Structure 1
Amino acid sequence: MAGDENNGKPIARRALKILFLGTAAAEGIPSPFCECSTCTHARKARGRNVRMRTATLVNDDLLFDCGPDLIAATQRFDVRLSRLETLLVTHAHSDHLLPSNLIWRGPGFCPTPITPLRIFGPGPVARALRRDPHWPTLAEKGAVSLETVRAGQRWRSGRYQITALPANHDGKRAALLYIVSDGTHKLFYPLTAVYHTRQISPFRYAPSGKVSATG
């Protein structure tokens, strides 16, 4: 693939490594209460047909959403989150955000030195996290920081340039989608929300907005 030039020769760049830890809606597949053909097939076929709630890991250092199946998914796929630097949360519904997941990377639970985690999301996500009783301890110890973002903003986190896009989820606009770029590759993450296509043009060329720190 294309890359920088080195004495006239292209330097290959690795593609983004993307692992879908979960792709199901809030009830999961199979749903424990459902006997439909999809859930029945998933119970029989197992494997990839059994789908956990939404979370996606990029390059071991960026995570989309942090729902109730996160720990089970990392065990299922044998991945570690010790290198995680950036968490992008699309919205505050419980299948996308379980604040107690963050407790296990904090003091008293994780003796391994870990990289501070920057969390980004719309206003309701920030409010949900700040309501968690463990948040003051996590923020004070430097394990996590929280930053509120709005549609149209662009910012950097680690090695990534990130753009927030407006989304409509469950009839409301308190949700965001994200474009992530490492300078060579771009990833558009549109899971479980509808992008407002009428607003593409203003945000494609909008100037970078500042990220407001709320940690």
Structure 2
Amino acid sequence: MKLTYFGTAAAEGWPALFCRCEACAAARKLGGKNIRTRSQSLVNDDLLIDFPADTYDHMLHGGLNLDAVRYLLVTHAHEDHFYPEDLANRQEPYASPRAPHVLEAYGNDAVCAAYDRVASIEYNTALPDVVSMTEVQPYEEYIIGRYTVYPMLADHNQAEKCLIYVIKENDTGKTLLYAHDTGYLVDSVWDFITEKGFVFDLVSLDCTHGKEPARRNHMGLQTDAEIKERLIREGHATASTVFVVNHFSHNCNYLTHEEIEQDAKQYGMLVSYDTMSVEV
């Protein structure tokens, strides 16, 4: 199983569009791994996680091959994670010839409502022919192509049923815990992980607040370390499990990618950057 990070920032991006703070100034000056676009990841080459407006940039500059993508999981309806207006560009005449397969998208009720709003526009009547949308429920099992997917509840926007995902690659058994945007995992998630007996090969954790000890809505590095320690203690991760922290804000009290790496190293965790791939 391979996970590629195409976007690794919070909603504003890093550097943020209009921001003149020290961290954004450093990113503009240094470039490279310090430039972070909005959140999006790809499992292998066919299962995309989230669809921000920056998908276009990821296709142009990040190497994202949308022709190979068959499935889309959406975590929640915030625009930095789901921008359905761009899905409309998959229909003719914006994309010609017609796509050879339907893109299967999955999300909560708010994500489905956002999709329906775009599909209801008069000039988007062909959208359901090229992008299907299925509502998923927390703690249910879904067979999606060659994957088994388990949505779980995130601690994020309390007005929405935001989701994190367990994704199992059926032919290899490799299993990913993808936990963005969320605070410390809620009790029902821990109970479900225990019930299913998951042992994760790869864990990707929200680190929006960086040095701050955040536990609600988003997390910081210390909270990520707590989750790692508990997963290992309870047998859901091993010494060979790869842990990655991801989804950073320019307000996280770090100035550079290198600074985050220095602190994450002490916890045995990798720090994501745009276009980074991890294979397990």
With normalisation by structure 2, the TM-score equals: 0.64
Does structure 2 conserve the Cα–Cα contact (< 8 Å) formed by 1:23 and 1:53? yes
Give the whole-Å Cα distance in 1 for the aligned partners of 2:85 and 2:16.
Answer: 23
- Partner in structure 2 of residue 26 of structure 1: 11
- Partner in structure 2 of residue 193 of structure 1: 182
Give the whole-Å Cα distance in 2 for the aligned partners of 1:83 and 1:195.
Answer: 33
- Residue deviations 1:21-59 (CA, integer Å, cap 9, x gap): 101111110012222221111000111211001111111
1:106/1:154 CA distance change after superposition, 3 Å: same
- Residue deviations 1:182-204 (CA, integer Å, cap 9, x gap): 12211111122225431135423
- Partner in structure 2 of residue 76 of structure 1: 61
- Residue deviations 1:72-131 (CA, integer Å, cap 9, x gap): 112112231112111110000111111122122212122244321111111000001100
Shift of 1:135: 5.0
With normalisation by structure 1, the TM-score equals: 0.82
Give the whole-Å Cα distance in 1 for the aligned partners of 2:184 and 2:106.
Answer: 18
Is residue 160 from structure 1 mapped to residue 147 from structure 2 by the alignment? yes
- Residue deviations 1:4-24 (CA, integer Å, cap 9, x gap): xxxxxxxxxxxx122111011
Is residue 54 from structure 1 mapped to residue 43 from structure 2 by the alignment? no
- Partner in structure 2 of residue 174 of structure 1: 161
Structure 1 runs of 4+ off > 6 angstroms?
Answer: none
Bigger proportion of residues as strand: 1
Give the whole-Å Cα distance in 1 for the aligned partners of 2:151 and 2:76.
Answer: 12
Does structure 2 conserve the Cα–Cα contact (< 8 Å) formed by 1:30 and 1:43? yes
Matched letter for residue 74 of structure 2? V
1:63/1:122 CA distance change after superposition, 3 Å: same
Does structure 2 conserve the Cα–Cα contact (< 8 Å) formed by 1:166 and 1:177? yes
Of 93-102 and 110-119, deviating more is 110-119
What pairs with 1:30-179 in structure 2 (closer than 5 Å)? 30-112=15-97, 113-132=99-118, 133=121, 136-139=125-128, 142-179=129-166
Q: Identity rate of aligned residues, in percent?
A: 33
Bigger proportion of residues as helix: 2
Does structure 2 conserve the Cα–Cα contact (< 8 Å) formed by 1:104 and 1:110? yes
Give the whole-Å Cα distance in 1 for the aligned partners of 2:191 and 2:126.
Answer: 39
Give the whole-Å Cα distance in 2 for the aligned partners of 1:89 and 1:195.
Answer: 20
Matched letter for residue 33 of structure 1? F
Of 106-115 and 181-190, deviating more is 106-115
Of 62-71 and 108-117, deviating more is 108-117
Q: Which has the higher contact order (CA 8 A, sep 6+)?
A: 2
Q: Gaps (5+ residues) in structure 2?
A: 197-280
Matched letter for residue 86 of structure 1? Y
Give the whole-Å Cα distance in 2 for the aligned partners of 1:172 and 1:23.
Answer: 24
